[in-house]
Structure 1
Amino acid sequence: MKRFWLVLLSLGLIIAFSTSAMAVDVKVSGQFYTGGIYLDKTTLKKDTATDGPSTALYFQRLRVQTEFIVSPGLSLVTRFDAMERAWGATRSTPGTTLDTQSQGTKAENENIAFDLVYVSYNSPIGNFRVGYQPDSNWGLPFGNSPTSIGEIRYTTGLGPLTLLAYIAKTTERSSSAIAPSIYSDTDDDKWFLAGIYTWKGGRAGLGYQGQRAASARPAATGFPTWPNLGIAHAFMPFISAKLGPITVQSEVTYAFGNYKEENVAVAREVKLDNLSAILDVEADLGKFYAGGTVAYVSGDDPGTTDKLEGGLVTGGNDWNPCLIMWNYDRQYWAGSLVSYAATRGFTGSMANAWFFQGRAGVRPTAGLNLGLAVAYATADKKPSATWLYNNYGTEIDLTATYKITNNLSYMLGFGYLMTGDYFKGTSDANQVTNDYLVINKLTLTF
């Protein structure tokens, strides 16, 4: 019996010393929101047989991020979204197309979908992160559409200067067990270099992004309608500075390069030339605040077939300047807002537009914020030679946000869109209608 216990103890020690170290600490954070939305018109058409009806629904999403701290400076980070769905709505059909800003499909996000899994290691020469991690979160919210992609990222600090670099795989088309292929060199890759300088009251940075897009080459049969090979570069300077009660923020993105159609009867090379920019100024006067925004995203000129001036850069899903125009919640839950051309209008983040907004607000109590915003938007380029107008419209937004506790807040908003003639498309006989939206949202952070 004594020998039995000795053997059992020895086995226990062997197992204990051969088992990987368990995390010494776990940090959990996240957000849950639920809300309701009413949109008076789901299209901007008027007096047609296909005018859009109104829509009203409740929606929600849970997001949980967990950091497993294995040892000081070494951790594993994960994040998932769960129950991202409209209450009682028909479930999405399972498929393989990824949802907006996710590494899961829409059907998976309605249940549970992991977006982040990466290891973070603080070495003597800087921080290394490897795995699926946040991407497209540079500078200001303008231009960002946060998602996650597989990256190898390095970050280091030199006093007030932060340097970062990463390489990422955005599309993998190499032959694999899941997707066998007879082609090679058909991946999409990107790389990023940046520096950020921080001082008391502000920060400024310059980023460079390069991308090689080869996932469209070559086509197995026929000729593709999109380039076979594209090489793009982008420079992205930004600044955010506080000057007394005034905060000034600005960011510019200039994207350039070319793409070649290698698999067409007559080879064609097209120049890429895209620009986006924003200037935002706000004065905080205690209980009162006021500010304004000017934003621009270049549109493609249909008259220049050898150039692509729009489509590479947008205002991003992180930037929600209005409750109706280019608003992510309205787009994700109620759908696109268009009229006589299904792909022209408010179909996602801001593109092909000049945007002007003035806003003001008051904080009557410590937890209550009342805001008013008026915005006007117009197209940078008409989509075709026969398109009549540029004016997207004018929107008035009223919002009230109440901070119930440090972790719980409630927002109520009303937006009214005076629809512009852009939505008449190619005929003055096409009539358009104004639209309005009511939204309320309860947000819990932890």
Structure 2
Amino acid sequence: MDFDVLILFIALSVILLGTLGFFLVQGGKLLPKDKREQYLTQRDPDDLPSGGVDTLEAPAEDRPGTEEPTLGDGVDLLEEPTVEEPSVETPEPVAGRLARLRARLVKSNNIFGRSLLALLSRDEIDEDVWDEIEEVLLMADLGTEPTIELVDRLRERVKVEGTKDPAVVKSMLTEELTALVDPTLDRRLTVSADGRPAVLMVVGVNGVGKTTTVGKLARMLVAEDKDVLLGAADTFRAAAAEQLSTWGHRVGVPTVKSDVEGADPASVAYEAVDRGVELEVDVVMIDTAGRLQNKSNLMDELGKVKRVVEKKSAVDEVLLVLDATTGQNGLNQAKVFSEVVNVTGIVLTKLDGTARGGIVVAIQRQLGVPVKLIGLGEGPDDLAPFDADEFVAALLEDR
């Protein structure tokens, strides 16, 4: 072959291969799927690297993700993953809750009990000792009147019985404290009504844990096989309705709420009761917005919520949620709320975080209504019916 012809042949071959490569591989990108498959059918599988796996990359405009994908272009659109509904939880049985949580109450209140028992077990109980006993009781938020009453009773019994035996002293103190807490009060929740749902309103100042209390109480009622419906009438705190709804979902309880922030809470409460009647539930619980007891306009609005609900159904319970750590300040709150909405029962939260168990006596004395529930922890089932005997036993636990 002539040398010039050879050179021309080589040059044409280079141009031909370069042109073919340009169409097959542009900048190291992948060909469109249909073109790539067409190209591969013309190639020997043995020529492909890694046992027939095509490692060619397509141009950016042909690669999924670099442009907005459209149907029909060979791009598989991923569907949103299916969000599974959380499984419905089974709340712990109500019976025995306070006994189960007693250790927490013992831990937070044993200083109170030990102090009293130590003072009453001294060889000589003079006026100075009685003054110390009185001081311990006042520091426990027992209140002035109940403190004087308890000290007078103990003084008389110690004088008459003349004993310093710690077991006997503890027995006397247990009896007198139990009498002050008053086990004769009816602490049952009204959770049934004739031919209609029982309606419970939950009220209190900001930050005491009303919404959480409603959620925990819903769990208690579900554990007792009650059909419950929640009403999110706290329409001013953005997360309140969602928070309440989440509590409900966990135990399969529906929630009536408004999608409009700042909606009329009375309307939401009324709608909740209306739906409860329609669905024939056992209990409708209404969560209300926190409000300061010294804001008359907010308190008037709370009264309006109750009046509007009563156009549909009687309100069977008004539960006032109080933070036990606030001590005597809680008494002022309780008094004002009771005047506006006729409180029927007290829920004491955070009782495990305070050594001031005497607040139970003080609140009952001032309001004339019983403590019905106490919160002893952050767990979803750390709400228990109040029991006077168990409570006093925990206050005076030796360990």
TM-score, shorter chain, exceeding 0.5: no
TM-score by length of 1: 0.21
Q: Give 1 or 2 for the bigger CA radius of gyration.
A: 2
- More helix per residue: 1 or 2? 2
TM-score by length of 2: 0.23
